[in-house]
Structure 1
């Protein structure tokens, strides 16, 4: 269970309830990060719009390259929710999810292409604190993917760092999306004082 209250549908405003219904149809259950972020309805709306926009705009890179770099960030940061959800997304895209068990040895595993290795190494460099990306690394990625591809990769890696770190800090854990049997968000019954405050 998350470290702060997940907003139940009956507590949510119209926009959040609509988003919950959409997410439930698309993913089988409401993702818990949505329900926690709903404590701040304005940021919830901004984040939902941003996620949809970033997904629609990110069409330059091959999905396997983009998704493996994003997955590596989640794995490195240790966000079990993002690893779980990212595995589901790769499965739905028809990608090989069995190889994710070997992400720790991506640099030597024959399951990863040279382009994927370059993207993963860049994800590692961007996730380091402070970042360790180099001129040579970016130049290599530009040769592989073009300038727009480098920008897309950089953006997606940065976005996953935000997601993974936020979810980890708020105690949001895996929800069973990778098994195809997603668990429902454990809605808490709001206390009387919380109900009065929302009214």
Structure 2
């Protein structure tokens, strides 16, 4: 099987190092206090929606390191139809999709569902995680950063 090489448009970290470092700092702050498995599920799902191959590759590897099963990783794009996710994970994934697909807004129902599982601090961290992975996806997809590139 021959693979297709997708040329990277630019090395964002090299040409905009201050912005890149700021997003790294935001990323570190957003991760604080979030369960590592939930964190990776959210980042994978948002990256799937945004079609960011680099981030999907990166976060599925990290999910495996955090103990996530292959089955749950494979079914994540169809989590609505899967019984493999907890109520808390489902609330986080619903919020992730609503924030990522913002033109429809975050409904009161989705927000209330998340509130049932996360206190104010946890919910703020989750929202920060979601907008941070969206920033990474937009940076990497726009510049065509692909798995295997630095």
Say yes or no: TM over 0.5: yes
Q: What aligned pairs does 1:8-157 form with structure 2 within 5 A after superposition?
A: 36-55=12-31, 58-59=32-33, 61-157=34-130
Task: Please give the root-mean-square deviation of Cα atoms over the aligned residues, in Å.
Answer: 1.9
Runs of 4+ in 1 over 6 A off after TM superposition: none
The gaps in structure 2 that reach 5 residues or longer are 1-6
Q: Deviations over 1:55-103 (max 9, x none)?
A: 3xx21x3322232122110011100000000011111111223321112
Question: What is the match of residue 3 of structure 1?
Answer: 9
Cα deviation, residue 131, structure 1: 4.3
Report the Cα offset of residue 52 of structure 1: 3.2
TM-score (norm 2): 0.84
Q: Deviation of residue 147 (structure 1)?
A: 1.2
Q: What does the per-residue CA deviation read over 1:27-78, in whole Å, with 9 as the maximum and x for residues that have no partner?
A: xxxxxxxxx31212322333333333433xx21x332223212211001110
- Cα distance in structure 1, aligned partners of 2:74 and 2:137: 19
SS in 2 for 1:78: coil
Where relative contact order (Cα < 8 A, 6+ residues apart) is larger, the structure is: 2
In the superposition, relative to structure 1, how do residues 167 and 118 fare at CA in structure 2: closer, same or farther (>3 Å)?
same
Structure 1 unaligned regions, length at least 5: 7-35, 176-183, 186-199
Deviation per residue, 1:137-177 (Å, 9 max, x gap): 222212211111111111101111111111111111122xx
Aligned length: 144
Contact 1:87–1:97 under 8 Å retained in 2:
no
For the residue of structure 1 that corresponds to 2:81, the secondary structure is coil
Cα distance between partner residues in 1 of 2:30 and 2:128:
9
Larger radius of gyration: 1
Query: In 2, distance between residues paired with 1:54 and 1:150?
Result: 11
What is residue 13 of structure 1 aligned with on the other side?
none
